[in-house]
């Protein structure tokens, strides 16, 4: 299948169930969409097991999810043989974080949700030079500027990440890009 003409490169969609229970109808609806978009646009599907919740994740649910996806015919292009599990990629995340630290793109943040009081983080801790400590988060500095891109479904888009969200929590960034 050829790549959709509005896309610069083949898209990679991802299906990322948490092994905290069995596959349910919501997963299946999501899988139909994820595989459908990839196939319609000439892209590929990444399957990733979101097992970073060490308390609620169970290996028997993990095995059952994979078995059910196979049975339903959802064959991932990447992440099935062998399965990609978040819990096995800690080194990758630590390495990415170390790179951000070296480039001074991250800083410790002591603000609670109440301190922030809204969707956008105002950069309160940017210049505080706080040390890492239990209870503190990490934020990634987001440069100001408008991003223009083409969304395959919505068409041309314009976003101002710094203006709309401010500096992101490192965990949110990991969810977006990893
Ligand atoms: Zn802060």
Please provide the DSSP assignment of 42-65 as one string: T-EEEEEE----TTT--HHHHHHH
Is residue 48 within 8 A of residue 84, CB to CB? The reply is yes
Predicted pLDDT at 2: 73
pTM: 0.72
Sign, CA dihedral 169-175-176-177, equals: positive
Using the mean position of ligand 1's atoms as its centre, give its distance from the Cα of residue 126 in Å: 7
Output the six-digit token pair for 142: 């987001």
Same fold, 12-87 and 96-177: yes
List the pLDDT tens digit at each of the 178 positions of the chain.
Answer: 677 676 778 889 999 999 999 999 999 999 999 999 999 989 999 999 999 888 999 999 999 999 999 999 999 999 999 999 999 998 998 899 899 999 999 999 999 989 998 889 999 999 999 998 888 889 999 999 999 988 877 889 999 999 999 999 876 655 554 4
| DSSP E strands, the chain | 12-15, 44-49, 84-85, 106-109, 137-140, 147-151, 155-159, 168-169
What pLDDT shows up at residue 26? 97
Decide if 157 contacts 125 (C-beta within 8 A): no
In our burial notation (b when 16+ CB lie closer than 10 A, e otherwise), range 8-30 reads eeebebbbbbbbeeebeeebeee
CA angle (172 as vertex; 170, 178 as ends), nearest 5: 90
**What's the CATH fold of domain 12-87?**
Rossmann fold (3.40.50)
**CA–centroid distance, residue 102 to ligand 1 (Å):** 20
**How far is residue 52's CA from residue 154's CA, in Å, rounded to a whole number?**
31
Interval between CA 112 and ligand 1 midpoint (Å): 8
* Ligand 1 centroid from CA 115, angstroms: 8
Q: What angle do CA 155, 159, 161 make, to 5 degrees?
A: 145
How far is ligand 1, taken at its centre, from the CA of residue 175, in Å?
A: 20
Q: How far apart are CA 100 and CA 164, in angstroms?
A: 22
pLDDT at residue 178, rounded to an integer:
45
The domain ranges of the chain are 12-87, 96-177
CATH node for 96-177:
3.40.50.620
The confidence score (pLDDT) of residue 52 equals: 85
């Amino acid at each position: 299948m050829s790549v959709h003409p509005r896309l610069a490169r083949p898209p990679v969609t991802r299906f990322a169930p948490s092994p905290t229970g069995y596959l349910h109808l919501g997963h299946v609806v999501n899988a139909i969409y994820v595989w459908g978009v990839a196939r319609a646009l000439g892209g590929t599907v990444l399957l990733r097991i979101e097992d970073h919740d060490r308390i609620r994740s169970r290996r028997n649910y993990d095995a059952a999810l994979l078995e059910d996806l196979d049975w339903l015919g959802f064959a991932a292009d990447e992440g099935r043989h062998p399965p990609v599990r978040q819990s096995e990629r800690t080194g990758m995340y630590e390495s990415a974080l170390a790179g951000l630290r070296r480039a001074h793109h991250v800083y410790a943040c002591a603000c609670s949700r109440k301190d922030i009081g809204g969707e956008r983080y105002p950069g309160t801790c940017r210049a505080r030079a706080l040390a890492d400590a239990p209870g503190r988060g990490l934020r990634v500095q987001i440069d100001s500027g408008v991003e223009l891109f083409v969304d395959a479904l919505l068409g041309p888009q314009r976003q101002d990440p710094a203006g709309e969200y401010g500096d992101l929590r490192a965990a949110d960034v990991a969810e977006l890009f990893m």
